[in-house]
Amino acid sequence: AAAGSELPGSAALTLLESAPGAPCCPHGPALLFVKTSQGKEDGRRFYACSACRDRKDCNFFQWEDEKVSETRLAAREEYNRSHQPFFTHRQNVDRYKNFVLLPLSKRRFCQECQQLLLPAEWKKHSDHQVLCEITTAQLKSPSQLLYPLENKKTNAQYLFADRSCQFLLNLLIDLGFRRVLSVGTPRLHEMIQSKASQEEEFNVRSLLLDIDFRYSQFYTEDEFCHYNMFNHHFFGGEAVRETCRKFLCEENGERVIMVTDPPFGGLVEALASSFKKLMAMWRETEKEGDDNREMPMFWIFPYFFESRILDFFPSFSMMDYQVDYDNHALYKHGKTGRRQSPVRIFTNLTPSMIVLPEEEGYRFCTVCQRYVSSGNQHCEICNSCTSKDGRRWKHCALCKKCVKPSWFHCNNCNCCTLQKHSCEKTDTGCFVCGKAGHKRSACPSLSRS
């Protein structure tokens, strides 16, 4: 069983506010869960790994009231230590400095170990697949050199298509931001870094926060922090946290925005709690003028999480822009991919400021004061552009709201739903609202209007 998974019946795992002093796995403090059934706690509370939703990746488990012996604690500490990366970030930075001094003919990268190799290490990797003649251009695009960790439950590394990444960057620049806190967005970080090193007038800086330590081979301590966004854990301790805090100080009037693209399988409440801590860190640094401001943020996530995100961040709104990915068969752009991407930008910036590309069909709705997809028709009754998925939605007078084009009103269920459904008969409750009869992607409570 893993965090946030759908259990039979209306049972679910609920994340509880962890008290300080939670036990640690190699991924930092564990999260506290309880099984709930019909909204009530049902069973013993337990700690599990924050980062890995697959027991195969980290099997940490402990009952909250469990007495752990000294011997087991010592063994656990030893285990956690031995599961830290082999090289420290500092060592990786030094290795990189040596690596770039090598002539092209001696620059090798081990694909199996996902590691830059120095000549003295070649022998150890002689049985491995090795890439030779690593160019400076390759070193500047680590997200192309490293293979994406696609394993769905833990890393879920889905990289932005170039067009989407370029769009995000131009948008940030047009909005006047000069610093980007890139949380789980290595490709955006890389685009900023590589422009900064190539174009003299380019004055945007980025700090990457990611759990994927492979990136520490390519970036200095001022460019990359090893960070877990599900428990707000900085692996390098206080010094690394301080790097992040410093970056959030808006020195010289350089405004900061945070951009994050977390694994979609992740627990929204855990993410929200970490992002609030990052926002607090930003607020605590001295700010000129108004103290009620929130750190500007782009949270990139599928549209069907809209109501969950708004629960935690009521000041956010969802933009219609469809974010496309390179290595995700389903989430590619309309014409080339199998279907349209369900991934959107959630932001606390004023929607009218987020200008979406007209050449891709987006248009400005003067009533809603925001850019919408070409298919998103303004509904006169709802008085809003109601489509969430880019298709034209239709208004249901009985439900008093717009619904997906493929839905119809079921008098049994007293709501609009898929033609093919069994009226409240399925025993698996919806992950979002707990009601039976539909899955979370079809949850009627997800459209707020």
Helix 238-248, helix 268-284: angle, nearest 10: 70
Q: Which does 263 bind (CB under 5 to 8 A by kind): ligand SAH, Zn ion, none?
A: ligand SAH
The Cα angle at residue 263 between residues 260 and 267, in degrees rounded to 5: 100
In the DSSP assignment, the letter for residue 260 is E
Asked if 445 and 403 touch (Cβ cutoff 8 Å), the reply is: no
Q: How far is 57 from 48, CA to CA, in rounded Å?
A: 12
Q: Which does 160 bind (CB under 5 to 8 A by kind): ligand SAH, Zn ion, none?
A: ligand SAH
Task: Output the residue with the shortest Cβ distance to ligand SAH.
Answer: 184
Within residues 57-116, the interface with Zn ion by CB under 5 A covers 58, 60
In the DSSP assignment, the letter for residue 295 is -
Asked if 369 and 352 touch (Cβ cutoff 8 Å), the reply is: yes
Please name the helix (run of DSSP H) or strand (run of DSSP E) that holds residue 90, with its range, or none. Answer: helix 89-101
Shorter beta-carbon distance to Zn ion: residue 55 or 125:
55
The Cα angle at residue 204 between residues 96 and 274, in degrees rounded to 5: 80
Question: Side chain identity at 310, as an amino acid letter?
Answer: L
27 binds Zn ion (CB under 5 A): yes
Candidates 24-32, 273-281, 293-301, 308-316; binding stretch for Zn ion (CB under 5 A): 24-32
22 binds Zn ion (CB under 5 A): no
Question: Side chain identity at 16, as an amino acid letter?
Answer: L
Q: How far is the CB of 156 from ligand SAH (least distance, A)?
A: 6
Q: How far is the CB of 268 from ligand SAH (least distance, A)?
A: 13
Shorter beta-carbon distance to Zn ion: residue 300 or 379:
379
Shorter beta-carbon distance to ligand SAH: residue 186 or 342:
186
Q: How far is 283 from 382, CA to CA, in rounded Å?
A: 37
Q: How far is 192 from 256, CA to CA, in rounded Å?
A: 14
Q: How far is the CB of 37 from Zn ion (least distance, A)?
A: 17
Q: What is the DSSP string of 391-411?
A: SPPEEETTTTEEE-TTEEEET
Q: How far is 65 from 101, CA to CA, in rounded Å?
A: 55
Asked if 378 and 358 touch (Cβ cutoff 8 Å), the reply is: no
Q: How far is the CB of 227 from Zn ion (least distance, A)?
A: 14
Q: Is 301 exposed, middle or buried (0-12, 13-18, 19+ CB in 10 A)?
A: buried
Within residues 36-65, the interface with Zn ion by CB under 5 A covers 49, 58, 60
Q: Which does 210 bind (CB under 5 to 8 A by kind): Zn ion, ligand SAH, none?
A: ligand SAH
Q: How far is 217 from 204, CA to CA, in rounded Å?
A: 22
Q: Which does 261 bind (CB under 5 to 8 A by kind): Zn ion, ligand SAH, none?
A: ligand SAH
Q: Which does 390 bind (CB under 5 to 8 A by kind): Zn ion, ligand SAH, none?
A: none
Q: How far is the CB of 44 from ligand SAH (least distance, A)?
A: 25
Q: Which does 409 bind (CB under 5 to 8 A by kind): ligand SAH, Zn ion, none?
A: Zn ion
Q: Which does 99 bind (CB under 5 to 8 A by kind): Zn ion, ligand SAH, none?
A: none
Shorter beta-carbon distance to ligand SAH: residue 157 or 216:
157
Can you tell me which of 11, 382, 418, 436 binds Zn ion, judged by CB under 5 A? 382
Shorter beta-carbon distance to ligand SAH: residue 230 or 316:
230
12 binds Zn ion (CB under 5 A): no
| 118 Cβ contact partners less than 8 Å away, ≥ 6 residues apart | 95, 98, 99, 102
Query: What is the distance between the terminal CA atoms of the chain, rounded to a whole angstrom?
Result: 34
Asked if 413 and 350 touch (Cβ cutoff 8 Å), the reply is: no
Tell me the two tokens of residue 4.
Answer: 């946030």
Can you tell me which of 1, 75, 239, 381 binds Zn ion, judged by CB under 5 A? 381
Give the residues lining the site for ligand SAH (CB under 6 A): 51, 155-160, 184-188, 210-212, 227-230, 261-263
Shorter beta-carbon distance to Zn ion: residue 45 or 395:
395
409 binds Zn ion (CB under 5 A): yes
Q: How far is the CB of 309 from ligand SAH (least distance, A)?
A: 16
Q: Which does 211 bind (CB under 5 to 8 A by kind): ligand SAH, Zn ion, none?
A: ligand SAH
Candidates 8-16, 91-99, 116-124, 429-437; binding stretch for Zn ion (CB under 5 A): 429-437
Candidates 116-124, 127-135, 346-354, 430-438; binding stretch for Zn ion (CB under 5 A): 430-438
How big is the chain by its Cα radius of gyration, in Å? 24
Question: Which residues are at the interface with Zn ion (CB under 5 A)?
Answer: 25, 27, 49, 58, 60, 379, 381-382, 395-396, 398-399, 402, 409, 416, 430, 432-433, 435, 443
